[in-house]
């Protein structure tokens, strides 16, 4: 099977742009003027160090190595994958173009582009734990291990790949290995977040509602949780007194589904709010750009929580959440040398 490469733009920030523009792209705009096929890794590192004296040598070498591979090792016909951490979905495609260096207004800060045909979109839950782990590196650009690439191909197409054993894996350089060792804690944290998200996604709607209420209680609020029934736009009400008389009165809507929430859903949520209310809209499937715009222009303060936000809040307050909430998502503490 052709090589498969992971290209992630700023923690998944550019997932929709990659899809809509039919490209993958890297930043490192400091290297754009020397980004030509055949450029050496040493040259890239030299230029990068001159442009970014604030970076550590390991970061310089790792960045130069990733750009060098992207320029010199990626070929037409190679497979490519990118990740949307909000929706927990991967986009799988095929590289169709040579490297182009340009400034695309839709991709701010990204200057190294390759035309891409996006063929499939798959759920993270459809992949094995080992493949999820292989895709958990914090590097912006890396080669997906052959076994993981074969599984992704199989899940995406329903067919067996041409054979993982035929795919040659490009070994990491000493510089990259050193940098990955330096960033091991960051990598572990990123993987932990994704596996906690996997666990939370398995909760049913009632459990998700209780989880959000438990986090709010750990933050110091008292909560009233609505019983299951017709959607009235207020699944949870949180306030200092528990009755909603004292401010802030936080009205919470919880949507636990795979699809992202749009502007229509956010407007509906805002429609029943009082002027002194505060809104918290929770969607495990994420939010569209229009939904975020709708929240930004709302007449009352509204916070949008997706899975990443739920995980961060849960981890931040885990020591103070009650036992019922801990039972929903059991976690273990990991100690690391300071």
Per-residue pLDDT of the chain (338 residues; tens, 9 = 90+): 579 999 987 667 788 899 999 999 998 989 988 989 999 999 999 999 999 999 888 889 989 999 999 999 999 999 999 999 888 899 999 999 999 988 877 788 888 999 999 999 999 999 998 899 888 877 889 999 999 999 999 999 887 544 443 434 444 444 444 444 445 667 788 888 889 999 999 999 999 999 999 999 999 999 999 877 655 557 899 999 988 888 899 999 999 988 889 999 999 998 878 888 999 999 999 999 899 999 999 989 999 999 999 999 999 999 999 999 999 999 998 877 76
Tell me, what's the pLDDT at 184? Answer: 66
Which residues touch 330 (CB under 8 Å, ≥6 apart)? Answer: none
Structural domains in the chain plus CATH codes: 4-199 (no CATH), 204-328 (3.40.1350.10)
Within 8 A by CB and 6+ apart from 306, the residues are 86, 282, 283, 284, 285, 286, 287
Tell me the C-alpha distance between 133 and 217, whole Å.
33
Return the pLDDT at 151.
Answer: 95
In sequence order, what E strands does 18-151 have? 23-26, 79-84, 89-95, 100-101, 112-123, 141-143
Predicted pLDDT of residue 212: 97
pLDDT at site 275? 85
Angle between helices 205-218 and 307-316 (to 10 degrees): 40
Give the H or E element holding residue 16.
helix 15-21
| Contact predicate 282/311, CB 8 Å | no
What is the rounded distance in angstroms from the CA atom of residue 176 to the CA atom of residue 59? 9
pLDDT at site 136? 80
pLDDT attached to residue 59: 87
CB 283 within 8 A of CB 260: yes
| Contact status, residue 249 vs residue 221, Cβ threshold 8 Å | no
Q: Are 81 and 152 in contact (CB under 8 A)?
A: yes
Of 85, 129, 135, give the one whose Cα is nearest residue 311: 85
Instruction: Note the pLDDT of residue 246.
Output: 85
Q: What pLDDT does 8 receive?
A: 86
Which tokens is 241 given? Answer: 């007194």
Can you tell me the distance from the alpha carbon of 255 to that of 283, in angstroms, rounded to the nearest whole number?
5
127 and 113 in contact (C-beta within 8 Å)? no
pTM of whole model > 0.75? Answer: no
Q: Are 90 and 15 in contact (CB under 8 A)?
A: no
């Amino acid at each position: 099977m052709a090589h498969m490469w992971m290209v992630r733009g700023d923690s998944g920030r550019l997932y929709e742009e990659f899809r809509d523009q039919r490209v993958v792209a890297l930043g490192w705009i400091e290297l754009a003027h020397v980004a030509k096929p055949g450029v050496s890794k040493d040259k890239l590192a030299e230029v990068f160090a001159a442009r970014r004296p604030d970076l550590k040598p390991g970061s310089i070498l790792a960045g130069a190595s990733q750009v060098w591979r992207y320029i010199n090792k990626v070929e037409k016909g190679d497979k490519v994958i990118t990740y949307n951490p909000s929706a927990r979905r991967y986009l799988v495609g095929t590289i169709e173009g040579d490297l182009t260096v340009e400034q695309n207004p839709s991709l701010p800060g990204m200057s190294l582009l390759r035309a891409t045909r996006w063929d499939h979109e798959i759920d993270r839950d459809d992949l094995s734990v080992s493949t999820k782990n292989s895709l958990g590196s914090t590097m912006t650009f890396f080669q997906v291990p052959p076994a993981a690439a074969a599984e992704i191909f199989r899940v995406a197409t329903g067919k067996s790949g041409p054979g993982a054993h035929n795919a040659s894996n490009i070994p990491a350089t000493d510089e990259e290995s050193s940098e990955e060792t330096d960033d091991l804690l960051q990598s572990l944290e990123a993987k932990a977040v994704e596996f906690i998200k996997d666990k939370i996604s398995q909760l049913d709607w009632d459990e998700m509602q209780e989880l959000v209420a438990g986090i709010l209680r750990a933050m110091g609020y008292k909560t009233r949780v609505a019983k299951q029934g017709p959607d009235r736009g207020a699944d949870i009400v949180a306030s200092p007194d528990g009755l909603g008389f004292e401010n802030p009165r936080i009205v919470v809507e919880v949507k636990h589904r795979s699809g992202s929430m749009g502007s229509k859903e956010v407007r509906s949520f805002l429609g029943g709010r009082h002027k002194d209310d505060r809104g918290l809209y929770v969607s495990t499937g994420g939010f569209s750009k229009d939904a975020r715009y709708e929240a930004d222009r709302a007449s009352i303060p509204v916070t949008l929580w997706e899975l990443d936000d739920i995980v961060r809040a849960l981890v931040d307050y885990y020591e103070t959440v009650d036992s019922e909430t801990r039972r929903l998502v059991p976690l273990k503490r990991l100690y690391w040398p300071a």
